[in-house]
Amino acid sequence: MVYDCLIVGAGWAGCVLAERLANELNQKVLLVERRAHIAGNAYDGLDEHGIIVQRYGPHIFHTSARHIWDYVGRFTSWNGYVHRVLAQLTDKAVSLPINLDTMERLYDRPFTTEQFRHFLEQRRMPVEMIANARDVVISQVGSELYELFYRNYTKKQWGLSPEELAPEVTRRLPVRFDRDTRYFDDPYQGVPEDGFTCLFERMIDSPNITLRLRTDYRSVAGSERFGRLIYTGPIDEYFDCAYGRLPYRSVTFRFKTLNMERFQEAGVINYPGEQDYTRITEFKHLTLQKHPKTTICYEYGAAEGPPCYPVPTEANRRLYERYRARAEALEGVHFVGRLAQYEYLNMDQVVDRALAVFEEIRTRG
């Protein structure tokens, strides 16, 4: 068999491209995935108690782009979940990102938009050139709120202090001057009604796609015949780490099932304090499942384990650029996705990249 395309990795990047090439261009695709399942880090399914869990932590699809929402919506309906997060402080839980409700609960007094602006004006620490993830926060809200919500959490999540991380890390969280308590601003958000794995199954359900699980790229690269290669794994591995390893942060997940219907007030509660975990997810909030028991998941930032996050530091960016230059010199090979592009991308951004690569292939051949 000669395949038109070999795709490495059955996460968002790999499956969107497999679907497009198979269904739009009628190409024969071999999709290889080294894990025992599809859906990459969005993988979900029933645990031993019959509760739907997301194996790699809480995943909520959110986007501001209608075309992305419509594209993904071909393979699923949405459950209408709107993501809200609380931060558990020593004596109370407050809404995140910081908004007027957060301030009122924190300081036990009313806040109007003007009062909050004034409060921050007196506390923010102007930074001439924002150079890191700490600068972003202290220049907006000052050191007290930084210490309370950001410093420990970031250290636990990344194993680095905010001064060592790029501004984009903490820029992900807005500061709000209204009472919008949603975690994401995006108008389109939710969890697939039948779960992410089911969405992926529908997406790659084509006679043109051959899926091989538990199969590493290395085991097929020399033996299979294919035209184009789409690679969605870690870019440094592709080049045998020739310039040294690119660090990817991992996460350890500890699941626990409890004999109660509800454990916590929100789907995700962050722990910005001294605890060794960063957050606890209770999946039934996200999936809207009814069940007499509940499964929760503790998350711990980890140096070892499956690659989850590219680590945005200046040194890593420079190292990535060396790999990227080599990748660009290759003919007929595309590097797509969070691990291959070494970028802190959300699911919708990965879909967007994959659709853009497809357009490039379609128009340029």
Q: How deeply is 343 buried, as exposed, middle or buried, from its count of CB atoms within 10 A (0-12, 13-18, 19+)?
A: middle
The CB-of-27 to ligand UDP minimum distance in angstroms stands at 33
Other Cβ atoms within 10 Å of 190 Cβ, number = 20
Q: Taking the complex as a whole, how short is the minimal distance between the CB of residue 56 and ligand FAD, in angstroms?
A: 6
Stretch that binds ligand FAD, among 90-98, 145-153, 321-329, 346-354 (CB under 6 A): 346-354
Q: What residues are paired with 30 via a beta bridge?
A: 6, 210
Can you tell me the distance from the alpha carbon of 132 to that of 229, in angstroms, rounded to the nearest whole number? 36
> Cβ distance 338 to 350 under 8 Å?
yes
The whole-angstrom separation of Cα 9 and Cα 203 is 14
**What stretch of H or E contains 137?**
helix 133-141
From ligand UDP, ligand FAD, none, which one binds at residue 190 (CB under 5 to 8 Å depending on kind)? none
Q: Which of residues 207-246 bind ligand FAD (CB under 6 A)?
A: 216-217, 232-233
| Residue 137 touches ligand FAD, criterion: CB under 6 A | no
Told to check if 296 binds ligand FAD by CB under 6 A, we report: no
Minimal distance, residue 246 CB to ligand UDP, in Å: 18
Closest separation between CB of residue 63 and ligand UDP, Å? 14
Phi, psi torsion values for 181, nearest 5 degrees: -100, 10
Residue 345 is classified by DSSP as -
Taking CB under 6 A as the rule, does residue 33 contact ligand FAD?
Answer: yes
- The piece of 51-59, 74-82, 204-212, 283-291 that touches ligand FAD (CB under 6 A) is 51-59
Least separation, in Å, of the C-beta of 106 and ligand FAD?
A: 25
| Residue 169 site contact among ligand FAD, ligand UDP, none (CB < 5 to 8 Å, cut-off depends on kind) | ligand UDP
User: Among 9, 22, 93, which Cα is nearest to 361's?
Assistant: 22
Q: Min. distance of Cβ 325 from ligand UDP in angstroms?
A: 27
Output Rg (C-alpha) for the chain, integer angstroms: 22
151 is a contact residue toward ligand FAD (CB under 6 A): no
On whether the CB atoms of residues 96 and 102 are closer than 8 A, the answer is yes
Binding residues for ligand UDP, per CB under 6 A?
Answer: 87, 96, 149-150, 153-154, 157, 169-170, 172-173, 270, 272
Residue 352 interface partner, choices ligand UDP, ligand FAD, none, CB cut-off 5-8 Å depending on type: none
Residues 91-125 as b/e (b if ≥16 CB within 10 A, e otherwise) read: eebbbbbbbbbbbbbbeeeebeeeebeebbeeebe
Task: Name the burial class of residue 202, with classes exposed (0-12), middle (13-18) and buried (19+) by CB atoms within 10 angstroms of its CB.
Answer: middle
Residue 84 site contact among ligand UDP, ligand FAD, none (CB < 5 to 8 Å, cut-off depends on kind): none
State the binding partner of 170 from ligand FAD, ligand UDP, none, CB within 5 to 8 A by kind.
Answer: ligand UDP
Per-residue interface string for the shown chain with ligand FAD, residues 243-272, x marking contact by CB under 6 A: --------x---------------------
Q: Encoding tokens for residue 177? A: 């001057």
The yes or no reply on residue 351 touching ligand FAD (CB under 6 A) is no
Q: Which residues form the interface with ligand FAD (CB under 6 A)?
A: 8-14, 32-35, 40-42, 56-60, 216-217, 232-233, 251, 308, 337-339, 345-348, 350
